[in-house]
Structure 1
Amino acid sequence: MIGLLLPVLFMLLCPVLAGGAVLTADTAWQGTVRLDEDVLVPAGVTLTVKAGTTVTVAAAESTKTDPEYLSPLTEITVRGRLVVEGTAAAPVAFAGAGGKTGEWAGIIVDHGTATIAECRVTGAETGITVIDGTLQLRRATLRENRYGLTAEGAKAEAAITDSRITGNDYGLFTLNGARVTTSGTTVADNRKNDTHRAVARQTWQVKDLRPAAELPVARRYGDEVLRGETVWEGRVVVGGLIRVPEGSRLVIMPGTIVEFTRKDTNGDGIGENGLLVQGRLLAKGTAAQPIVFRSAEPHRAAGDWDAINVMNSAGAQNLFEYCRVEDAYRGFHFHFSNVAIHHSQLSNNYRGVQFQESVVDLTGNTISNNRSGIQGRDSVVLFADNLLAGNYLGANFFRTQLAMHGNRITGSGREGVRLRECTATVRENLVDGNRYGLLVADTYFGELDRNCLLNNLETGFSIRNCDNLEVAGNVIAGNGFNGLNLQDARAVVAGNLIADNGERGIGVLTFAGTITGNDFAGNGRYAIDLDGKKDLAAPGNWWGGDDPERVIFDRRDDPAKGRVNYDEASSVPFPVAWPLATLPTDVVWRGIVTVEQPLTVLPGATLRIEPGTTVRFAPAAGLAVRGKLLATGTAVAKIVFTSAAVREPSAWDEILLEYATGSEIAHCVFEYATWGIHSHFTNLLVADSRFSHNYGGMRFRSGPVRIERSTFTGNTIGIRAYLGNAVITGNSITGNETGIFVREKGGGLTITGNDFAANSGHNIRVGDFNNEDVDARQNWWGGADPAATIFDGRTEPGIGIVRYEPVLTRPVGAGGEGKP
């Protein structure tokens, strides 16, 4: 008991807290407290701040790498309980030591609880952050912070009473389902936004690598050194630190389960058992028999064990393939080593991967639901085709030679990707649904091309203090505030689609490069918002059909700002190539979009195409929609699907809708395709559209489908039905070789009120395997005998009959409804 009271007595009597601490027992602060480093209140521990206490927080002097912390700035992180006992006569104050906004991280309630009364928080990046925790805030003031209060996560609850959130850059942010209630509270006069509420799209479902079987224990280890060559298989339990010295090798066979018991001798909440490899490690599982590294505890938790440490192993490559790593402090931790991680899964760790001074190949992995996904520095890195999903911090690379391509980074609570002082090639990545998308800082060379930065809650792409960057061919769209932020930067920003961002396409503070050849459309307040005093060169862009002066904020609006030069504005959009082979998230297409390879809209995603858009397909390219397609043009601004190359039938593939219920197609043009539309098992309406010069206009199976007021002309086959359920009405089906081909089971069709004429083969042809009659009453047949233009059971006995009587006596298109 005396030992437990010592930290409390120390804090009560000592006026200064020098350095940082992980509090291992209940602690109280009183008087004047100075924090030079981070403070962590772990689960099970209470920090009490007495009335009248002043807590001054020094700025961090170096970049932190400890996974238990969430910011590179100095922070107070609460995973246990924080009680602030201020009173009206003796309030509590938390403030940065330098008196500047954003110089310390703030109070972070990370899955913990906080009760804060009569308190003032100033100078922080975020005064108070609640991450899936609980906050009671009474009679408090949050002022001169970058953000006043942010609550995020479906488990976060904050009750704010009689408080003031004012004079910050941003006031109160409620993100991803957090529950915030206010009573008697003022949220006003924050410089940029008072309140903001946003929810990111649901992150991808992760396919787990699970053990093939739960095995009996084959071996148990304590603290041991494995010399020579050791092979593990079955189930191995580690109750200490296993070291593989230089010159030795550990081989782990497919299907092996390696479990670590929890040992925490210093009481900081972090397990200490693990692996230390100074020789070489080969852990090569398979998809059917992955290797699993996990906690041995009955109730597994992040930080139960330390890490797979690979140190000073820079010779032959250490290989991890089809491995699952969970419940660790750091799943993988490398220094001065050569390591490859392929097709593996890292989940429920404080940090998935951490390394420095190494050669690292990360390819095809899933890194999900960790507090931090990846942190790497001073290394050569290949980062390709990985999925980072649902981590609080995504990927952070510092002073790294980086090749990053084909990755999907989604659902990060803060940054999806942060690059600092890197030499980087970043290409064809999707950064979607994070709080912040891609941040590039202090970088003096890089190519950031053909990426999709979509639907991030605040900013899609930020560049600060950078030079000699190429930013080209990116799709920067649907982000909550700004698409692209530029500060103290020089770059060429060219050929990007910057559209549908909530407030600004590009926000500029200071920029010395050129912004040219970009498409700006549908951004909330401004296409470009110039907040600095220097002029900006933005010639030769397309402004989405708007007057540039209306969508640009500069000296014409505020004499204290610089002027944006928008000379040589384009009257038509520039073609932008869609960068990815899949479309896994909601997106809007505008202008001219080129599809260079087969493209799939994944289940759960919606592609919306704005009126007036042209979609051009390269040879053999097409669009497979397994989510939803909303292509609704207007009579004066049709959507055109066409060839990017030759103008002849079958110049491109087709638009396939498969289980794509909810899709809408209206006022569209389909030309030069193999099939304009190919619909399977989709409830679909196609209206007011034109299908011409295709091999086939439209084909469908199942349905129900409704095709109305559309034109099919110049195709080999206008419409083909197979086992279909459809209403085909009000259409002009003329000048094709075959108007409608009923391949099989035509009894579910109703073909009525259409114009058939000049189809060189047949107006309707019944297939050899169709044994059902077809309802085709009340159509106009071009003035000819309908039977002479139809191939059915009258022509070839044994197949179905087209029932065409009564007929219309004049065309629907020329004479309205027509008459029987």
Structure 2
Amino acid sequence: MTISLFRIAFVCTVPILALLVLLAPRSASAGVITADTVWTGSVTVTEDVLVPEGVTLTVRPGTSITVVAAESTKTDPEYLSPLNEITVRGTLTVEGTEKEPVRFSGAEKKKGSWAGILVDGGTAAIRGCRISDADTGVSVTDGTLRLTGSALLENRYGLVVQGTKARVAVADSRITGNDYGIFTLQGARVATSATEVARNGKKDTYAATSRGQIPPKAQPVNDGAPVGRRYRDMVLLGETVWQGRIEIDGTVRVPEGSRLVILPGTIVEFTRRDTNGDGIGENGIMIQGRLVAKGTAERPITFRSAAKVRRMGDWDAVNIMNSSTGQNLIEYCRIEDAYRGLHFHFSTVAIHNTTLTGNYRGIQFQESMVVMRGNTLCGNRSGVQGRDSEVELTDNLICTNQVGGNFFRTTLTAQGNRIVANGREGLRVREGAATLRENLLDGNRFGLLVADLYHGEVSRNSITNNTETGISLKNVDTIDIAGNVVADNGLNGFNIQDCGALITGNLVTGNGERGMGIQSFAGRISGNDFGGNGLYAIDLDGKDDVAAPGNWWGGDDPARVVFDRHDDSALGLVHYDTASAAPIPFVWPLPFVASDAVWRGVITVAAPTTVLPGAVLTVAPGTTVQFAGGAGLEVKGKLIAAGKRDSRIVFTSVERKGASDWNEILLEYATGSVIAHCLVEYATWGIHSHFTDLSVSDSVIAHNYGGMRFRSGPVQIRRSLFRDNTIGIRSYIGNALIADNLITGNETGIFVREKGGGLTVTGNSISGNSGYNMRIGDFNDEDVNARGNWWGEGDPGETIFDGRQEPGIGMVLFEPHLTKPPTVGPGSGETP
């Protein structure tokens, strides 16, 4: 028996096999199985299949399921892959046996020809089964899988398990002959027994976790407000104004020439109606005229389900169709529980400062002109998908979706967005033209996927900490990739296939296995900084040569960090002539460090830059950080700048002329920060610390207006040199240990502005400062414990300004003092 699935559902309702074929009433239910179903014999799947919650799909022994390649660019939000997929949100039971196995395969008999079985929060028990030709044989996201006596063969990925809620057990099975065997991501766990995971082409097992993103908290909604208006199916003519609480039990239509205005603080709620049993609500709004939904930050407009227990897909969408004569405005709104929160065709729409969460898809559109600024799209299955449109995407947060952004045949300008912690790709761009500048793509599985563009620019982005790949390029020729950070991605910084791009001036460092994995490339790779990548800077897996002149190879011999014909005679050559002899200065592209980052080589900070709360900036030994005039580093997360005795870190100015060339390193509540074996020079204040548990050791702080100032603490300053500053160290209400330092050649060695009772200053050489070795401020009424220091020859009191010169201020308690200079300063306490 051969059964073709083409927008149909199979239903078996009696023990004796009876098959009822139901035509799907609309595209949203295409491939949705709406009742318990049995597959047996030969089944051909021509489009996506979805097993929704509450429904069981059973596959009998000996069944053969063939999945054809997708021939269209589908847009249904309930599916996750552009390939044909079998998605399980209910229950899948595969009952194969050793004698009568079940087979899932692609019609084209090649890896990646169909998506695979996606267990998306559902349950699958798969026994006696062979799955092949898929992108991923079985993918589990926060679902449950029991795989027994089965084989995952000849797929790109055998098994991918993602999320701490996933529960997977694999027994008596084989996962072999795939490109990758088992991936466990984001805290997932897989229990295996008597299972072979071997002979997969690139990697048998891989586990990775990136730090998640917590979306901003929503404004509270006045749930106690009474319903002011109720609508069923209705047409709103002329101008209609909504305020208060609105309930919709049907579809409200605003026809051409009419306008709907929604005032701040309005709550629009939709009852659930599901006439075809596909699990998707059908009530919504249809705008063919114009929509103005303009809330405020304090009183946003809310669109949500009317159910007491609200669920994703309870209602359809705010649909805007053929509305291009004026701009539709959605501003300061919150949209949740929808199938598609916002959905528009042939329209002009501006979406500002709006939150879309808990929807199957936040925003979907085509043939439209769209401006999206300052929005939050988090916690949806899919954040935003657009096609055949002109799109401006600016300063949005797109996080914790399964898929972040997906754009097809668009003219896309994306700038200043944070696209982070999405379960699959952060941003996918296919065909059309795209300009991507100053975006953060961090902590996704795949950062940026680009294919088939006819024009593109990817510049000054930070593409970091993605669990698998930073940038994937396929079939792209006219694209410039310049000035990007592509660092600390789990496997590869770049994956490149059939491209002719110009790749220049990027920082490609710290990626788990490869800076670049290249199959075929006809462009030019030059002026990039490759350093600290796990296996290779460039790994060539094709027969054609690659031009890569003038790069910095991280201090390594290029022959050691490049894999090419020198290692395998079947490959082409990477031409790495005229290699740079020193790190190539790299300008940090963003005004912030929003997630964990490592700076290596020579980093230029051209504008004030902030390490945001929760982020850790690590500066690798041997790194130089140079600041332009007026620039500085504000740390609200954590700074770990731990150099080594023979490889110190340098914080300096671009010009290197004198004090105040640049601003300062400011640490605010940056608990746990470390500055060790560093040189800090030419700043206004080298180090400025507020309310921070900070350790400074074995460092040189010189040629600044002020070397270091701090408030509160606790602070430890050990074995460091403060020299040629106007003020070496300044304390204000400080809690600090200052020990074993050399403080000399400054105008004032240590200045205690107020409340010096929390200081312990001991074991230091504080001498040769032109004004005072230590000065007590006019408002400091506490004594300072400064016993056991060397103050130079003569009476220490003559080099100190305190209550002896100005009665009423605190005293410096310097007795007993050292009678000869101690061995202090950088490295003095270390074993050579």
Q: Deviations over 1:529-573 (max 9, x none)?
A: 011101111000001111111100000000001001111111111
Q: Pairwise CA RMSD of aligned residues?
A: 1.7
Distance 1:6 1:396, change over 3 A: closer
Asked if 1:778 corresponds to 2:788, the answer is yes
Number of positions where the alignment pairs a residue of Structure 1 with one of Structure 2: 814
Corresponding residue number in structure 1 for 2:573? 563
User: In 2, are the aligned partners of 1:250 and 1:282 still within 8 Å (CA)?
Assistant: yes
Corresponding residue number in structure 1 for 2:533? 523
Corresponding residue number in structure 2 for 1:802? 812
Asked if 1:617 corresponds to 2:655, the answer is no
Corresponding residue to 1:86 among 84, 90, 96: 96
Distance 1:792 1:65, change over 3 A: same
Q: Distance in 2 between matches of 1:624 and 1:635?
A: 26
Normalising by structure 1, we get a TM-score of 0.97
Equivalent position SS for 1:21: coil
Distance 1:764 1:336, change over 3 A: same
Q: Distance in 2 between matches of 1:400 and 1:452?
A: 22
Q: Deviations over 1:403-433 (max 9, x none)?
A: 1000001111110000001211100000000
User: In 1, are the aligned partners of 2:11 and 2:36 still within 8 Å (CA)?
Assistant: no
Asked if 1:494 corresponds to 2:504, the answer is yes
Equivalent position SS for 2:757: helix
Q: Distance in 2 between matches of 1:74 and 1:285?
A: 40
User: In 1, are the aligned partners of 2:10 and 2:38 still within 8 Å (CA)?
Assistant: no
Corresponding residue number in structure 2 for 1:246? 256
Asked if 1:129 corresponds to 2:139, the answer is yes
Corresponding residue number in structure 2 for 1:592? 602
Q: Distance in 2 between matches of 1:12 and 1:593?
A: 69
Deviation of residue 810 (structure 1)? 1.8
Corresponding residue number in structure 1 for 2:273? 263
Structure 2: unaligned runs, 5 residues or longer: 1-8, 25-29
Q: Deviations over 1:362-387 (max 9, x none)?
A: 00000000000000011111000000
Corresponding residue number in structure 2 for 1:542? 552
User: In 2, are the aligned partners of 1:17 and 1:35 still within 8 Å (CA)?
Assistant: no
Asked if 1:578 corresponds to 2:609, the answer is no
Asked if 1:769 corresponds to 2:779, the answer is yes
Q: Distance in 1 between matches of 2:821 and 2:603?
A: 37
Deviation of residue 5 (structure 1)? 9.9
The residue identity in structure 1 corresponding to 2:120 is D
User: In 1, are the aligned partners of 2:212 and 2:400 still within 8 Å (CA)?
Assistant: no
Corresponding residue number in structure 2 for 1:188? 198
Asked if 1:468 corresponds to 2:478, the answer is yes
Q: Distance in 2 between matches of 1:271 and 1:205?
A: 25
Q: Distance in 1 between matches of 2:456 and 2:684?
A: 40
Q: Distance in 2 between matches of 1:437 and 1:195?
A: 21
The residue identity in structure 1 corresponding to 2:631 is A
Corresponding residue number in structure 2 for 1:692? 702
User: In 2, are the aligned partners of 1:211 and 1:291 still within 8 Å (CA)?
Assistant: no
Q: Deviations over 1:339-358 (max 9, x none)?
A: 00000000000000000010
Aligned pairs for 1:73-222 within 5 A: 73-211=83-221, 214-222=224-232
Q: Distance in 1 between matches of 2:34 and 2:222?
A: 39
Deviation of residue 710 (structure 1)? 0.7
Deviation of residue 10 (structure 1)? 12
Q: Deviations over 1:442-473 (max 9, x none)?
A: 01211100000000000000111001111000
Q: Distance in 2 between matches of 1:467 and 1:12?
A: 54
Deviation of residue 646 (structure 1)? 5.1
User: In 1, are the aligned partners of 2:11 and 2:21 still within 8 Å (CA)?
Assistant: no
Corresponding residue number in structure 1 for 2:5? none
Range with bigger deviation, 192-201 or 203-212? 203-212
Deviation of residue 776 (structure 1)? 1.3
Range with bigger deviation, 7-16 or 509-518? 7-16
Q: Distance in 1 between matches of 2:329 and 2:607?
A: 33
User: In 2, are the aligned partners of 1:18 and 1:34 still within 8 Å (CA)?
Assistant: no
User: In 1, are the aligned partners of 2:765 and 2:824 still within 8 Å (CA)?
Assistant: no
User: In 2, are the aligned partners of 1:603 and 1:626 still within 8 Å (CA)?
Assistant: yes
Q: Distance in 2 between matches of 1:567 and 1:520?
A: 15
Asked if 1:416 corresponds to 2:429, the answer is no
Asked if 1:457 corresponds to 2:460, the answer is no
Asked if 1:722 corresponds to 2:746, the answer is no
Aligned pairs for 1:23-102 within 5 A: 23-102=33-112
The residue identity in structure 2 corresponding to 1:624 is E
Equivalent position SS for 1:489: coil
Deviation of residue 6 (structure 1)? 5.5
Q: Distance in 2 between matches of 1:615 and 1:798?
A: 44
The residue identity in structure 1 corresponding to 2:745 is G
Q: Distance in 1 between matches of 2:249 and 2:565?
A: 67
The residue identity in structure 2 corresponding to 1:273 is N
Corresponding residue number in structure 2 for 1:447? 457
Corresponding residue to 2:750 among 720, 723, 740: 740
Q: Deviations over 1:199-236 (max 9, x none)?
A: 11121342324425642100000000000000000000
Q: Distance in 2 between matches of 1:116 and 1:292?
A: 42
Distance 1:288 1:212, change over 3 A: farther
Q: Distance in 2 between matches of 1:205 and 1:677?
A: 32
User: In 2, are the aligned partners of 1:212 and 1:290 still within 8 Å (CA)?
Assistant: no
Normalising by structure 2, we get a TM-score of 0.96
Deviation of residue 328 (structure 1)? 0.4
User: In 1, are the aligned partners of 2:10 and 2:19 still within 8 Å (CA)?
Assistant: no
Corresponding residue to 1:429 among 430, 435, 439: 439
Corresponding residue number in structure 2 for 1:385? 395
Equivalent position SS for 2:213: coil
Q: Distance in 2 between matches of 1:349 and 1:66?
A: 13
Q: Distance in 2 between matches of 1:352 and 1:395?
A: 10
Corresponding residue number in structure 1 for 2:640? 630
Corresponding residue to 1:350 among 352, 357, 360: 360
